[in-house]
Amino acid sequence: MTPVLTVYAGSSLTGADCERLATTAAGSGVELRFRPAIKRGDLLHAPMATGWQDRVLILDGHFGQDMAVSVAEVRAYLNWGAYLAGASSMGALRAVECYPLGMVGHGWVVQQYRKGRIDADSDVALLMAPDTSEALTIPLVNVRWLLSRLSAQGLITQAGKALAIAAALHYRNRLPQILAARFADGLPPDAARVLSGYLEPEVLPTWDRKRLDGVEATEFEIRALSAGLAEVS
């Protein structure tokens, strides 16, 4: 019986990511099923993932008190003996909250929340195109990761100020061009110039931490299912 990995994804994975991951899964003997960003009630109709045979991974989800997948739903799903993992966005939030219940968390974003370095749900929020689920704005968690890398490499010395500038923008307004303009107004020219280069459309995916976590989490779950399949073959 072919193991199945169901992934709830929206903006955290690109179309190219999904195609490549599907190819990887097929080559590993795993069926990969993508579902839209999870919303309230979806988990109650999700496959009964048993761990070695089937798994469910949440990356993206709807926000809002009436729309977000609830902790109660996660608890009920896990109480059925199912396997559930999360990363990137809503999946990361629920993975941290529901770790004591048995939900698995993957990636840098999960670790930042788990260690208390980030505590606001809004850090992973962004504005999406309704027809394509493409990210239109930059979530603050991605800015945090980029600034930590640039600071560690000695490429920027104004990381704290740059983060404050980005955090002052509502997530719906954190468009690349607006962020670049705010950096230009509030940072020394050298720092603004470095950051503006990372805001070019072709460069954005390379430091999209939510995307990187989503890809890595999906690859991990594919490998785990493939290893389980080998053990029972």
Same domain, 203 and 214: no
Same domain, 60 and 35: yes
| H or E element at residue 33 | strand 31-35
Same domain, 30 and 98: yes
124 falls within a domain? no
The enclosing domain of 12 has a CATH number of: 3.40.50
Please give the model's pTM, rounded to 2 decimal places.
0.93
Same domain, 108 and 168: no
Same domain, 58 and 13: yes
Tell me the chain's radius of gyration from C-alpha atoms. Answer: 18
Same domain, 21 and 97: yes
Same domain, 172 and 152: yes
**pLDDT digits over 86-118, tens only?**
999 999 999 999 999 999 999 999 999 999 999
Give the pLDDT of residue 231. 45
Residues 158 and 188 sit within 8 Å (Cβ to Cβ): yes
- Collect the ranges in the chain with pLDDT lower than 70: 47-52, 65-66, 229-233
Number of domains in the chain: 2
> What are the beta bridge partners of residue 84?
56
Same domain, 114 and 31: yes
Give the pLDDT of residue 229. 53
32 falls within a domain? yes
Give the pLDDT of residue 233. 35
Give the pLDDT of residue 114. 96
Same domain, 18 and 80: yes
204 Cβ partners below 8 Å, 6+ apart? 138, 176, 198
Look up the domain containing 33 and give its range: 4-118+210-232
Residue 125, helix vs strand vs coil: coil
28 falls within a domain? yes
In one-letter notation, the amino acid at residue 27 is G
> What are the beta bridge partners of residue 25?
none
